[in-house]
Amino acid sequence: MEGQQESPISGVKPTATAPRTVPPGQSLIAERRRSKPDIVLRSEIPRTSSGPAEITTPVSATFRPRSDSLISVEHSIPELPLEESLLSPDTKDPPPDSLGPTHDELENRPIEAPLTKSPTIELPSIISTIPVKPLPEIVNEPQATISAADKETWDRTLPRVIRGIVSIKATTVRPFDTETAGDYTATGFVIDAKRGLILSNRHVVSPAPITAVGIFFNYEEVKLAPIYRDPVHDFGIFRYDPADLKHITATEIPLRPDLARVGLDIKVVGNDAGEKLSILGSTLARLDRPAPIYGSDMYNDFNTFYFQAASGTSGGSSGSPVLNVQGEAIALNAGGSRSSQSSFYLPLDRVVRAVELIKRGEPVPRGTLQTEFFHQSYDELKRLGMSDENMMACRERNSEATGLLTVRMVLKGGPAASPQPTNAANNTEEDPSIPIKGLEPSDILLTCNGKYITNFIGLWEIIDESVDKEITLEVYRAKVLRKCTLKVQDLHSITPDRFLHFGGAIFHDASYQECRWYNEAIGNGTFCASSGFMMWNSYSRDFLVTKVDGKPTPNLEVFMQVIKEIPDYKRIQCMTRGLGKSDDQLLMVDVDWHFYPASLFVRDDDKGVWRREDISPPAAVEDVKTLAPPTVDGETDSGIDVESVPSSPQPPETDAATPGPQDPSPQIETTDEDSDEEEEEDTPLDVAIEELRCSMAYVRCFLPHTIYGHTSNQSYSGVGLILAVDPIPLIFFDRTCIPTDMVDIRLTIANKNIAGRIVYMGDFVLLTFDKTLLPEGSKILIPEWDPKPLKVRESVKIFGLTSDQLLSTKETTISSIGTNSNTWACNPPRHRLINTENISIAEGASCWGGVIVRMEQLKSIKPGENIKVAAWMMTVSSQSSGTDSYWTQGIDMHRYVLPIVREIEEKKLARYDHSTWDLGFEFSDAALPTVSAMGLSQKRFNDFVKQAKKIRGVARPLIVETRMQPPKTTLTEEEEANGLKVGDILLEIDGNPIYKVGQLTEFKFEGRETASVLVLRNSQELLLNVPVVKSWPNTGDRVIQIFGAIVHASHAAAIEQVAKTARNVPLDSEGLYISGVSYGSPALDKMRPTFWILSIDDHPVATIDDVLQLARERKWAQGEYVRIKQVNRVGITSIASVKVDDRFWPLYQWRMNHETGKWKMTKETGLQYNNELSNNGMKQFKDKVVPSPASSEGVQITQTVLQENKEAPLVGEAVATV
């Protein structure tokens, strides 16, 4: 992205750089979608915010950014104060009977010929007896004055035409081409009430899969099916079932492009700024404006003129008709300027042609030369080399014309692209009698098939009727008139109509829209519209995949053939290239068949839906290693050189010949003199440091969904320490690099990438791996532990690993020991480190993990002696003012980690799951002077000071800070008095004095109902019988997606933030917690992250099994509305009404196998859409050979082309019959 991102809500203007050159006479009005555009598409689309935080305020903006974060939109449709009796169904004009005036008719029209007005239509006489209420206020009308006659006509026209205005609510369910997923609102108007046809913009109808409804002015709602969108121009057509309208007769608005003229009074009637109805007036000021530029990676119109007027339309008015005083549409509102009141309208000449063909049930032919033309005036043509004689002849032929069309850009590899020049070709190009073989920028177009061309309409009347035929152009090039014969290409053939959803990413053929902006030849790679989970660490989107696993992928069909053969979990190489870039980039990808379904979607314009075909994963192959647990027989059979340290420290054997870290610098050729010198041997310290490096590992973690408060749009990585190899390998990591169980883990050990599996997850994580995957002879060191505890002000050295496996070191000192390492509550709630003893370091190393060793032992290390590890430096995360923050601190491995490691080894556990029992409160440190002022006795004061001196620290008594979970029932006064309260000073537990938070690990609360706790409260020591509570889990092994919302059981971080007075939050069951909402899903509109689901269709649900059972019983139909009762953290309930969309958002369940660590995905609903293409017979596959521009050797690729079978039955879809 060039430039700085701008928020359309705040209106902050960034400094941006134009991403491409703009021709003379045309300005770049809008920058990239994520920069501030001066022109916006007039559909109201919500602006998103980054990050997964809970959304509480509905917002709206004017365009859709490319963000994966979560948001919802609240549409406001105010009631229209207008009597329906004032609107007569008989006052509608018939649609035009022809395709509209041809180019020749317009060229030969007399200049002084008056325009014919449509007859004034009188309302029935009965209307005069009805009390008349005033029309809605006309919003933002810039006209100064309106004649009395015209005002009277507008008063008659507007009540009639608003019957044909439709407010459109739509959702893009998948990213596709230039579109992103999300909700938006726009406008359309009825052009054929009998057939149920509604005209709107292309960026409203959208090339992407959408679901849409239309709302008429009386609030009747109809389902809209998108049946046509032009590949280039900004118009498209919806269809609805006229039978669905029960209480209104829709008014047809006729299309009259021939009535447009400068100075015409107009009104734009539509859903401006998201309002139900707005009427904006203005005067047409220009009919030959260049098509507006919305920015890169966005839809842009071209090869047409636009109209311009100062009507000041804004978001939501896309698709509004531009009406004359007779109520006829003379243009289609499309966009507008942010910096002025200017609005831009699409002429309807080519729209009329498409509409009439669709009415007759015929396809709409669209041709292309993959060339962009630009209209330039005669004075500019003269500067391009056109002679005065030629200009004079042009003016005489058409005195109204002000210029001619010139070639602005020719797409590489297109029909009009000139071949690569050779010496022989250059000689023929100089001969004017020899036709040229292609077009070039600055060519001036004179004729097409012998007809003189002065505007876009005349040229495309010929091109659109000449698909797969040759046309002859005459152009001026270098002051010489040359002929050029070109074959017209089918524009629909380079407009994608299918996509593959694989690994959470969206792939389809590169479109003309995307390739044109970057001058990228079509067919040079498969386009990635959303990188998803599989390609998460690549570009965010908008790039080409040119090779997969070493095989070229010039288009989607070849890409599918390659990907079908790659098994789950396999790590492969992909070559990718950003659009407009010249060089490919290597990307390592882990193939995913387990977290996301693989499905092919193909658009069916006859029914206005997308047909789905699920793709099965390939059969497992032997060479792909599973993540089964390693053997626990105590033997090492992998050929790995493992150095283990027995419980009683003994100097382990070391290999003095072990090479150190490889020097990445270039090798220098040695001379004979240099070869005589003996290589310098490593010192004992160098050998010991290298051995220490072999005990560390690096991990990268991949989240498929936003779960347990962690987002899927960021990477997780860190450094860990190998603690054991036999009987089961174990590696220690902190929770910042492995946040939850639902992950794919990629370990780097001994310069080898292997998969990992979680064995334990608590305040830290223990991973295991298949040691047979390591190279033979790999050296792994299990560290030797320093039994002597650290002290404050002691000099230490940190050894850590960077992401490039480089050793990072730092000499520092211990600043404090024993303080409480508490973090702040996060939003959305996620696991945080609490009640853990901290070893503070004065200055950390430039890495996110490493071992802490004493400096004194490094100074006197002997050959064969290992470095003893005193502690581990880990990374801790939290939030500060809503922003994620990270820091490093030391952790006492003897107290917190090694006991669990020993238990896993003794019991040979493949998975260590245990419940935690504690007092249910978070404690923090309090200053000793403060506690003394609260009534602490002198004896206890002296005890705190004495204990602190043992580690050279400062005494910090523990104070009760926060209750970790609300009570399930209202506590009685006695229960309140006998329990811990915020502000209590913790003195003893079960008679044992408590001086620091680390002592809490010494007590075993499991199986007990209460614990004896002595506290200081109100200057008195009180002995309490505090109830022991079971902690909520901080992760889980089951996740579902329902209506596009990610739901799992409640976790500890969410329960912690439940208000004490909240009574509706499920605390007596595992609960159904909404962790995230997917863009483009039905849940986006109403269901809220961080809420709990209480009931579905008035059926109480408390567990995932309850939801699955209800879905099997109810069998919700496609398009059915389902009521969901939900509650937030403070106990406020709300109802969300969501529409079932099993084609794109069926009910999925993911479940983890604890033995293997693998997740399995099952599809619970929407099975009728699994194989629509093959089962319904709608599409038939036929192979044909097409040349691939990606093949420089002329190799041909076999591409499967989908062909229509219009007689095939359609199953499982409720659509209108017209």
| 342 catalytic residue (yes or no) | no
Q: What is the enclosing helix (H) or strand (E) of 646?
A: none
- Name, in order, each residue with C-beta under 8 angstroms of 196's C-beta and a sequence gap of 6 or more: 222, 239, 240, 241, 242, 1216, 1218
Smallest Cα–Cα separation from 210: which of 1043, 1202, 1081, 1042?
1081
Active-site residue (options: 38, 68, 230, 234): 234
Q: Distances in Å between the alpha carbon of 614 and those of 500, 607, 969, 1040, 1174?
A: 10, 20, 48, 19, 10
What is the rounded distance in angstroms from the CA atom of residue 545 to the CA atom of residue 527?
A: 6
Which residue(s) pair with 500 in the sheet? Answer: 507, 600
Q: Is the dihedral of CA 823, 829, 835, 839 positive or negative?
A: negative
User: Nearest 5°: phi and psi at 585?
Assistant: -125, 145
- Residue 998 DSSP SS3: helix
Active-site residue (options: 203, 501, 710, 1051): 203
How does DSSP assign 461-488, residue by residue?
HHHTT-TTSEEEEEEEETTEEEEEEEEP
Burial of 643-677, coded b for 16+ CB within 10 Å and e otherwise, reads: bebeeeeeebebeeeeeeeeeeeeeeeeeeeeeee
What is the rounded distance in angstroms from the CA atom of residue 720 to the CA atom of residue 746?
A: 12
| 594 catalytic residue (yes or no) | no
User: Other C-beta atoms within 10 Å of 829: how many?
Assistant: 23
How does DSSP assign 901-933, residue by residue?
HHHHHHHT-S------EE-SEEEEE--HHHHHH
- Residue 1112 DSSP SS3: helix
Q: Which two tokens stand for residue 674?
A: 């240099």
Q: Which two tokens stand for residue 814?
A: 């211990």
| 317 catalytic residue (yes or no) | yes
End-to-end CA gap in the chain = 45
Helix ranges restricted to H, 615-722: 672-676, 684-693
Between helix 456-463 and helix 349-359 the angle, nearest 10°, is 30
- Residue 769 DSSP SS3: strand
- Residue 1048 DSSP SS3: strand
What is the rounded distance in angstroms from the CA atom of residue 1212 to the CA atom of residue 612?
A: 12
Q: Is the dihedral of CA 501, 504, 510, 511 positive or negative?
A: positive
CA atoms within 13 A on the CB side of 1110: 18
The answer to whether the CB of 324 falls within 8 A of the CB of 348 is: no
Q: Distances in Å between the alpha carbon of 737 and those of 92, 355, 711, 1011?
A: 66, 56, 13, 35
User: Nearest 5°: phi and psi at 32?
Assistant: -55, 155
What SS3 string covers 831-888?
CCCCCCEEEEECCCCCCCCEEEEEHHHHHCCCCCCCCEECEEEEEEEEEECCEEEEEE
The answer to whether the CB of 486 falls within 8 A of the CB of 471 is: yes
Active-site residue (options: 67, 317, 778, 1078): 317
The answer to whether the CB of 527 falls within 8 A of the CB of 559 is: no
Q: Which two tokens stand for residue 235?
A: 């118009």
Strands (E), 956-1057: 958-963, 985-989, 992-993, 1010-1017, 1020-1027, 1029-1030, 1038-1042, 1045-1048
User: Other C-beta atoms within 10 Å of 1154: how many?
Assistant: 15
Q: Which two tokens stand for residue 1200?
A: 């499967």
Place of tokens 């041709």: 367
Tell me, what DSSP letter sits at residue 1159?
A: E
Instruction: Tell me the catalytic residues.
Output: 203, 234, 317
